[in-house]
Amino acid sequence: MDGCDEFKRLWLMRRGGQVLRFHTEPFFRRQTVAEHTFGALLILYEIADNVTPNLVRALLLHDLGEQYTGDLPAPAGWRNPQVRQSLDQDERQFLQQFGTVTITDEERRLLEAADALDLCFTVLENLAEGRLDALSMVERLLEPQVKSRVSVNERSWRLYDEWRKRAQALCEQQGRVLRTLAQVNAWQYSAAVVVSRVPGPGDEECQPVTKTRQPADNQNQQPPSPALPNDN
163: domain CATH number is: 1.10.3210.10
pLDDT confidence tier of residue 195, bands split at 50, 70 and 90: very low
Q: Does residue 190 lie in a domain region?
A: yes
pLDDT category at 86 given cuts 50, 70, 90 is confident
pLDDT over 90, % of the chain:
33
Confidence of residue 200 (pLDDT cuts 50, 70, 90): very low
Alpha carbon of 207 to those of 130, 196, 213: distances in Å?
Answer: 14, 12, 19
CA-based end-to-end distance of the chain: 93
**Domain, as residue range, for 14:** 3-204
Residue 217 lies in a domain: no
Q: What total number of domains does the chain contain?
A: 1
Looking at residue 209, its pLDDT comes to: 41
Does residue 129 register a pLDDT over 80? yes
pLDDT for the residue numbered 167: 93
Helical (H) or strand (E) element with 158 = helix 154-184
Question: Residue 123 in 3-state DSSP?
Answer: helix
Q: Is 209 part of a structural domain of the chain? A: no
Q: Residue 220 falls within a domain, yes or no?
A: no
Assigned domain for 225 exists: no
Q: Is the pLDDT of residue 45 over 90?
A: yes
Please say if the pLDDT value at position 7 is more than 80: yes
Region 196-217: mean pLDDT is 46
Neighbours of 91 (CB within 10 A): 20
Is residue 222 domain-resident? no
